[in-house]
Structure 1
Amino acid sequence: MLINAQRPEEVRVAIMSGDTLDGYQVAVAEAGLARGNIYRGQVANINPALNAAFVDFGADRDGMLPAHDVVPQACHRHPPAGEGFPRVEKVLERGRPILVQVTKDPAGSKGAALTTNLSLAGRYLVLMPFDDTRGISRKVEDEETRAAMREQADRLAVPEGFGFILRTNALGQTKATLSRDLAALLRLWKRVRAEDSRGKGPRLLYSDQDLVVQALRDYLDSSIEEVLVDDDDVFERAEAYMHASMPRGKTRLVRYTERMPLFSRFDVEPQIDRIYARTVSLPGGGSIVIDATEALTAIDVNSGKASRGSSQEESIYAVNLEAAREVARQLRLRDIGGLVVVDFIDMRSNKHEREVERVLREAMKADKARATVGRISSNGLLEINRQRIKQALQLRTHRPCPTCGGTGNIPSPEFVGVNLLRRIEARAAGGRLGGVRVGLHPELADAIQNFRRHDIAALEDEFDMRIEIIAMTSLHRSDEKMEWIEREAGDAVVRSVPVVTAADVATAVPAPPDEAPPTTNGEKRRKRRRGGRHHRRSGAPPAHGAEVPEIAAAVGGESSTPEGAATRTKRRRRHRRRGKAKGAAAEDQS
């Protein structure tokens, strides 16, 4: 066992089997683990629909306390007679204090799971102050072993109302050793009760998060020959614990003093790095791929370049055997709990399938967490239910990616650009938008400015607005900063629809000219000459079938609005006044 505690913000414990990493635990300062801790909480809410209470125990989210986890000693009201598990609203009151213990750490959006059936774990015993049951660990399956341990339990004397569970490493211990462990747990319970009587409000009464003590308590047995520690304070704590709990133990405790870091000296760091990898290589050339989802953990077995065996069936069988051992090891190293589905490579032989299942069950026996292993289905799938003792290792040491949000995928620049233009167009269609400033990651800003320049210009022309795309290095790839600029109350832009259609243009006939007073022949000739010169300056007259100027202007949208119609009327009046003035001048000359 290697204990690396040189940095107080992170304490690591590695268990080596030869040169192979067989167990790994890490305590991170900001991980916020609470499993096993005992708190004085306060009932914040009672939900009859769930038959559970929500307890404020000082965490960010209230913990959930189901009705079946409320022991009689914790009830605020006496439960009705004859009911096995009474309704939660009949035994608890909102706002009242209650003593709770965390049984499951919060995960995702779910709060912690709580119980009032408290337990204190020792090296050989688990003390239960509110349950008088004397039990044996469920990991002990052999009936002869359970009978021998049950005789040990019957010889121990405990206070009335207390119970305990013998752990697996209690087998073969003397009565004096077990009594000493029991006495230490009883003294610890008295300290918890004393802390509970002080002050008011939610507070922590007992913490079970000392990783060094946990590792020595849960993993130190006769199979471990040596414990190496690289920190003086931790070495003293380990020495005191080993002297108190296992004075006759043969395990050596060594203070590591070499300059090379402890984990580097035993080549542990590369193996720790592989714990966080998605793909794990197998010795024979195959691999397993581990993906965690909200509901379960999926593990896929790939043959890769594996070519062991005399046939394809034998090669697949060899890869599946290696995968079964490695799956058990990875679940243990990564602290993966809950439902796990393993997709083995399809095998034709039922004998091979049963052997893979057996190897997996044997490999799971080294795990401290309880687990049930199913059978391989016709689709090659096998289910494992593993006890969730702690949060998964990756959740304790890693944070979700701020760019992809933990999905592993990000939207392409093309998708972002099209989506952005759609949103701007939808907002501008209301007529109130005068401009928009968009701050994006430099990669996206450059892509949109280069490949969507014409689309942006078309929107600016159509809605008489300004669109600015700004590259901001302070933004993540998935972030954006939008600033919408609204128009003043009377400056709204309304998109007009032409009142003249293409069919109207095709069948249009010029309107008759306005009536004018009679003119002389000379005046007509002068008008024709002026008209001729006008046509020569402005170009050739429109050909047959061409658009009439007034109708073409209407299609352009000028006459489709009240302002366009008023302008055309004023122009006609000016033409009529000019014609009348010229006619009067001609009469005066004649």
Structure 2
Amino acid sequence: MKKTVKKQLLMNKSGDEIQVALVEDGRLAELVIERPDSLRSIGDIYLGRVHKVVEGLKAAFIDIGQKSDGFLHFSDVGTTTEDYRALIEDDEDEDNGQGNDGDAEEDSERKNERKTPPKTQQQQKSNGRSSGVEKKRQSYTQMIAGKLKPNDSILVQVIKEPISNKGSRLTSDITIAGRFMVLLPFGGGQIAVSRRVVSRKERARLKKLVRSILPEGFGAIIRTVAEHQEEELLKKDLEKLLVKWEQIEEKLQDAKPPQLIFKEDTIISSVLRDSLTTDVMELVANSPSIYKETLNYIRWAAPEMEKNVSLYQGKLPLFEGYGIAKDVESIFSRKVWLKSGGYIIIEHTEAMVVVDVNSGRYAAKKEQEENSLKTNLEAAREIVRQLRLRDIGGIIVVDFIDMLDQKNAKKVYDAMKNELRHDRAKSNIIPMSDFGLMQITRERIRPSLMQRMGDQCPACGGTGVVQARCTTINQIERWLRKYALQRRVKFQKLDLYVSPTVAGPLSENDFRTEMKWFLQHLLFVRIKPDESLRSDDFRFYLRKNNKDLTAEYSDL
């Protein structure tokens, strides 16, 4: 029997910041945060300008007015570029006219199907599968590269937010997401149904219904929540999406790149659209404006759930009142404790996230293999929860506790797969290796929550480790030795600025450091603490004119 999970949506407004928490069985499962300086941009549509085309990368860089150019891979261009260009430039040229029958299933209710690029006669006659695919790929690459020219205008949509120093990931296959369906403005009649709708009869009903109300030339992806919904609701949803597209068309008439053409729904509407399911038992807001927005949305999308919406009246802050404040604070912690006494360590690196599982103080009176299995199974559940909570994407490598029995490794793998099914983000998982390592990839469309909520440590630069003071002192002495040899000057007066943590040991020696350096190099050095410097940094200044000599005579 499938366990029923009690879900709650808590919407907290504090100053200019909005936090939306999804709570499952009393524990925080997902947290979405929006601030004025970090607004969500997934789904935003821009009229961009092609900055440059790099055929070697099979991509183009598009100026959309952000700090860094957006990245548009040729595979995300599709075959609708001419349609958009005709719309933007009032071009009379006909487009390629390729289309699909529209009956293909959709792997994800949020991902538009890619149109198949046209085949050349040479590709059609090719008997070798690999050579045919390669020729087809090269032909498609050349076709796209030929279409995209620097300074051209192109309509694009953000599918991945900027991460670190990388710009937004873009696509020209425009989609507009609604509550029950996703509109494909240039879908060519394609209609797909989410694979999570398993009933053939219901799939056929939804396709027939949407096909009857969809305007010619448009396509649609029917979302899971549309299952068993009445025709009137689907019509209303489609009408709202068509109005949005009409507004986009109107704005494009006078638009000049780079320009924002369409902004996604507010954070509240977006979360309700994507997270509101029949098992959400409570929707609570601490702000009258958010409460009103939620109520209006519920009355349209799910009127039977209106009784579940409430305005928070508690004396404690909303998250504390519902007991999830500590879960929010734990996002910044490297160590996460397990109920058994074991724990996991989460480390972020440039290339991946590494998770280490440890048994800790857990030492039951059972055999070691059974202890390891129990800790690993508990860790698997907690790891997936943390991935969702912290919104961690990319490559994740988990180092589980070693187990001798391959059957136990299979149990951990199955448990991890089962937990990932509850995650809305796409993921792939590889069974545990002989070294006890499990590799996971998880869809990443924005920086992790820790990256968005935290700043890099000024002391360690984000590494978590600071250079030992004795190492810095050795570097200072090497610099002095090199400076004295190269300049061959005597009795010169220098000021040395260092972190207070380094200045302390330099001044505490019985044989004063300044006197030692004078006897060694015949230089007068005065040590001055500077709180703005890190423990691995130092600065030498010529005292008479305050000239910085550090970089010029650096030994590093």
Q: TM-score, normalised by structure 2?
A: 0.81
User: Which residue among 173, 194, 198 is the counterpart of 1:137?
Assistant: 194
2:199 is paired with a residue of what secondary structure? helix
Q: Return the alpha-carbon distance in structure 1 between the equivalents of residues 325 and 45 of structure 2.
A: 34
- When residues 435 and 100 of structure 1 are mapped into structure 2, their CA distance, relative to the original with a 3 A threshold, is farther
Partner of 1:153 in structure 2?
A: 207
Identical aligned residues as a percent = 30
- When residues 145 and 354 of structure 1 are mapped into structure 2, their CA distance, relative to the original with a 3 A threshold, is farther
Q: Return the alpha-carbon distance in structure 2 between the equivalents of residues 256 and 33 of structure 1.
A: 25
Matched, 1:224 2:231: no
Q: Return the alpha-carbon distance in structure 1 between the equivalents of residues 494 and 146 of structure 2.
A: 58
User: Which residue among 525, 528, 541 is the counterpart of 1:470?
Assistant: 528
How far residue 485 of structure 1 moved from its aligned partner, in angstroms, is 6.0
1:430-445 matched pairs, under 5 angstroms? 430-431=486-487, 434-445=492-503
- The answer to whether the 8 A contact 1:284-1:308 is kept is no
Partner of 2:112 in structure 1?
A: none
Partner of 2:25 in structure 1?
A: 18
Q: Return the alpha-carbon distance in structure 1 between the equivalents of residues 463 and 511 of structure 2.
A: 31
Q: Return the alpha-carbon distance in structure 2 between the equivalents of residues 477 and 32 of structure 1.
A: 35
Q: Return the alpha-carbon distance in structure 2 between the equivalents of residues 329 and 438 of structure 1.
A: 50
- When residues 410 and 182 of structure 1 are mapped into structure 2, their CA distance, relative to the original with a 3 A threshold, is same
Partner of 1:6 in structure 2?
A: 13
Q: Return the alpha-carbon distance in structure 1 between the equivalents of residues 143 and 510 of structure 2.
A: 63
Partner of 2:219 in structure 1?
A: 163
Partner of 1:63 in structure 2?
A: 70
- The answer to whether the 8 A contact 1:222-1:250 is kept is no
Partner of 1:102 in structure 2?
A: 158
Q: Return the alpha-carbon distance in structure 2 between the equivalents of residues 477 and 87 of structure 1.
A: 54
How far residue 463 of structure 1 moved from its aligned partner, in angstroms, is 4.4
- The answer to whether the 8 A contact 2:472-2:535 is kept is no
Letter in 2 for 1:471: P
Which 10-residue stretch deviates more, 92-101 or 456-465?
456-465
- The answer to whether the 8 A contact 2:514-2:526 is kept is no
User: Which residue among 440, 449, 452 is the counterpart of 2:507?
Assistant: 449
- The answer to whether the 8 A contact 1:303-1:316 is kept is yes
User: Which residue among 203, 227, 235 is the counterpart of 2:291?
Assistant: 235
1:132-281 matched pairs, under 5 angstroms? 132=188, 133-137=190-194, 140=196, 144-145=198-199, 148-156=202-210, 157-208=213-264, 210-249=266-305, 252-281=308-337
1:296-335 matched pairs, under 5 angstroms? 296-308=352-364, 310-335=366-391
Which 10-residue stretch deviates more, 180-189 or 346-355?
346-355
Partner of 1:74 in structure 2?
A: 81
Deviations 1:56-92 (A, max 9, x none): 1111111111122223443469789844343543111
Letter in 2 for 1:153: K
Deviations 1:95-124 (A, max 9, x none): 122211111112222222111111111112
Letter in 1 for 2:444: R
Letter in 2 for 1:154: K
How far residue 20 of structure 1 moved from its aligned partner, in angstroms, is 1.9
The size of the alignment, in residue pairs, is 484
1:340 is paired with a residue of what secondary structure? strand
- When residues 166 and 307 of structure 1 are mapped into structure 2, their CA distance, relative to the original with a 3 A threshold, is farther
1:23 is paired with a residue of what secondary structure? strand
1:333-344 matched pairs, under 5 angstroms? 333-344=389-400
1:24-35 matched pairs, under 5 angstroms? 24-35=31-42
Letter in 2 for 1:296: M
Which 10-residue stretch deviates more, 262-271 or 242-251?
242-251
Which 10-residue stretch deviates more, 75-84 or 441-450?
75-84
1:118 is paired with a residue of what secondary structure? coil
Letter in 2 for 1:312: Q
- When residues 172 and 250 of structure 1 are mapped into structure 2, their CA distance, relative to the original with a 3 A threshold, is farther
Which 10-residue stretch deviates more, 195-204 or 48-57?
195-204
Q: RMSD across aligned C-alpha pairs, in angstroms?
A: 2.5
- The answer to whether the 8 A contact 1:373-1:383 is kept is yes
Partner of 2:3 in structure 1?
A: none
Matched, 1:120 2:127: no
Q: Return the alpha-carbon distance in structure 2 between the equivalents of residues 351 and 147 of structure 1.
A: 39
How far residue 130 of structure 1 moved from its aligned partner, in angstroms, is 2.6
Matched, 1:294 2:301: no
Q: Return the alpha-carbon distance in structure 2 between the equivalents of residues 375 and 353 of structure 1.
A: 8
- The answer to whether the 8 A contact 1:100-1:118 is kept is yes
- The answer to whether the 8 A contact 2:495-2:528 is kept is yes
- When residues 215 and 384 of structure 1 are mapped into structure 2, their CA distance, relative to the original with a 3 A threshold, is same
- When residues 177 and 483 of structure 1 are mapped into structure 2, their CA distance, relative to the original with a 3 A threshold, is same
1:321 is paired with a residue of what secondary structure? helix
Matched, 1:366 2:422: yes
Q: Return the alpha-carbon distance in structure 2 between the equivalents of residues 432 and 112 of structure 1.
A: 53
Q: Return the alpha-carbon distance in structure 2 between the equivalents of residues 455 and 247 of structure 1.
A: 77
Partner of 2:549 in structure 1?
A: none
Letter in 2 for 1:230: N
Partner of 1:483 in structure 2?
A: 541
Kindly indicate whether structure 1 or structure 2 has the higher relative contact order, using CA contacts under 8 Å at least 6 residues apart.
2
- When residues 314 and 458 of structure 1 are mapped into structure 2, their CA distance, relative to the original with a 3 A threshold, is closer
How far residue 448 of structure 1 moved from its aligned partner, in angstroms, is 2.1
Letter in 2 for 1:158: L
Q: Return the alpha-carbon distance in structure 2 between the equivalents of residues 347 and 198 of structure 1.
A: 65
Q: Return the alpha-carbon distance in structure 1 between the equivalents of residues 45 and 39 of structure 2.
A: 14
